[in-house]
Structure 1
């Protein structure tokens, strides 16, 4: 069972050793990293507005062009001369729950109505050479007060033609299964793109939803054929607890063996949009973490828990002229568990478990300036009174409604691509939380008491 981080645990890696990450990337590429491309630095590299690659003015929803840019390893460049391979992002947020939480959600915060500097990130992002590109992020969060590494994706990409067929192929070194993906159904890039980290979140979700993010290193090979067929296979190994301490990352236990990952998708390219259908697979065996005399997390010998995640997804994009865009995304993941380590240590009442997660979201954007999104989710699991407490189940259901304003979202907006601002107002509601509608915590709290209003201002340069 994977306990999730706030905001239903999606796409939020713990802020950790960002300086170590940047040092690692710079050491790998040295002064060759004189050009970049992704986030605003990608736009400066390509001499294109952010809206060329992103729906909604800027990240992370990718257009068809943005998907191809990522598959080609972030290497497309327009013009001569060096580009600065750095970008930065700031997110300031305010979080309110319908009823004050029983305890403060984190040190230094109140039981309700919390403002915070949620993220301050720096990106090393763009072209390194003709066939090598990088996307590496370091993040500081006021919640925890740590600076550390976040998503990393270093790619080699190339293309070839054989008869009537065109192909793109590449290899990625990365630290999070699904971070390599180009579709916004993938858990690493799934809506909500920003979410409250000081509000209650679902008690458990499948491993594919960030359960290994930032704790592993993996190598993936991928191939896209004729702009339609896509396949990717990879394998992940745990990073050492000492390294993860250096980068302030979580450690939830060492993988007992290499964790294979696979992804397949097919895209229909339509006159005004595209339709994609695909699937995911992840297999992981992970032991329980322990602590040493100093209280630091360490790997311990013993049995391991097994997680088998199988997912199916679909996405649809459609433009109506140059002013209107809609997107629809769907993902269902089923996880089968065999909890040898957890059950053997008394941490669960059942040897075998199961989790599944369903997400459906649709969005509309007008001139990449005004946006609205509706997301519905249902997370369910097999009963286990030790894992999930008195309710005995992790079942959590509800939805999120978000309204966005990007004042500089259009291709000819002021100071493109330097000025990128998004103001988002998000409301998340729960019809069931941790298996119950009422008395979800044993102290009279209802599922609807966790309903969350979340306001954020997102700046990217």
Structure 2
């Protein structure tokens, strides 16, 4: 309770300092997105008159139930009743992070080498139906790490249902800013476990570009279809946004994509009496140039050769839905990436012209009455040895596991102030059996892989 009170006080003080600028900025965004002639609707739970557990496993997001998957595929447009409310939701996440051994230097400005509390996220969502077939989920986020308000995951969808050979079907298009954001199975990188993780601790030195390497830096248009609630096919392409625009929205810029980058997704779902099983795959190709710094100190795209990335992946998921009393889920993603580092190699940034990376993420969760949850996960990242690119012994190999315990006191149909108040408390522990290819001396200064083990506690509010 002492930790909780400390976190709540810290969140209150930091939130008050940033609330005015945050709200004003997002209200401007809301007015731009929804002029007065638009038909605005409430956030999802209020729009559908359903508790958050109708769409989400574990009280609230992001893991989706079959109903939640269909709601997203239909463009966030399902509406019950004729009442109209403002389509806004808010989210606040206050966290505490402790590593087994203090870091050699603070992980970010104004933080300590260990035992950090942080207002990790304060977000506002524009979420809901715009017209009968058009809906949106757009997020803006402030983080104490960096102290900036910027745009976050955004997805504008148009969708329609139809009948083909006597079977139900859906087709739609999505305009979004993160490859795999469109997915509904919680295996894709944009939505996979852990759903909340520390940003002031250690992580893998390298992962495939599809695992967040372009999030919020691109814009993509994807077309998709689902047939008979089973076969799902999606194809689209992404282009880079300009460094100037990304600076305006406080997003990272890691290099301009050359031309368009194709993305494809296929999945098949077997619907069972008490759940479902899904099996699918991913394909993503990208060519990205290097980043330079101009006279004003801003990141800019450099002319010249590009690095090529080809990501191929397979995924699987399982849900056992026994009413709401006992829920079991299992998710798995394996990605392999082939790299041709024409730009990095010429610039002296890598020892090899050709490299590869592999990433495995798997987890199993159990929820009791969507209130008490436990998740066990494992991750394994490995790839080519490259002394120049990765330093120390030149290996990106990082393996370990995650265990997380959750309590969601609100989010049920009978919860207090439902659906306006949702709370999740999470206690997460991440351990490493290997870090950057080593068990000992992982940083060249005597640090062990287990010294990076991380205890992470968060209070996640959504309202």
Contact 2:34 2:40 in 1 (8 A): no
Deviations 1:172-202 (A, max 9, x none): 0000001010010011000001000000111
Return the match for 1:228 from 230, 237, 240. Answer: 230
Q: Which runs of 4+ in 1 moved over 2 A?
A: 17-29, 31-37
For CA contacts below 8 A with separation 6 or more, give which structure has more relative contact order.
1
Q: Residue 35 of structure 2 aligns with which residue?
A: 30
Deviations 1:407-429 (A, max 9, x none): 11322111111110000000000
CA distance in structure 2 between the partners assigned to 1:28 and 1:98 by the alignment: 45
Tell me the TM-score normalised to structure 2 length: 0.93
Instruction: Tell me if 1:265 matches 2:270.
Output: no
Instruction: Tell me if 1:180 matches 2:185.
Output: no
Matches for 1:272-283 after TM superposition, within 5 Å: 272-283=274-285
Contact 2:223 2:235 in 1 (8 A): yes
Q: Residue 203 of structure 2 aligns with which residue?
A: 201
Matches for 1:38-437 after TM superposition, within 5 Å: 41-437=43-439
CA distance in structure 2 between the partners assigned to 1:109 and 1:186 by the alignment: 31
* Structure 1 segments unaligned to the other structure (5+ residues): 1-16
Deviations 1:24-82 (A, max 9, x none): 56434423554346xxx200000000000000000000000000000000000000021
Contact 1:36 1:133 in 2 (8 A): no
Q: Residue 7 of structure 2 aligns with which residue?
A: none
Contact 1:36 1:134 in 2 (8 A): no
CA distance in structure 2 between the partners assigned to 1:193 and 1:207 by the alignment: 19
Tell me the TM-score normalised to structure 1 length: 0.94
Distance 1:27-1:321 versus aligned 2 partners, 3 A rule: closer
CA distance in structure 1 between the partners assigned to 2:433 and 2:149 by the alignment: 35
CA distance in structure 2 between the partners assigned to 1:60 and 1:257 by the alignment: 32
| Bigger mean CA offset, 403-412 vs 178-187 | 403-412
Aligned residues: 442
CA distance in structure 1 between the partners assigned to 2:99 and 2:39 by the alignment: 45
CA distance in structure 1 between the partners assigned to 2:210 and 2:26 by the alignment: 23
Deviations 1:365-402 (A, max 9, x none): 00010000000000001000000112111100000000
CA distance in structure 2 between the partners assigned to 1:73 and 1:322 by the alignment: 25
* Structure 2 segments unaligned to the other structure (5+ residues): 1-21
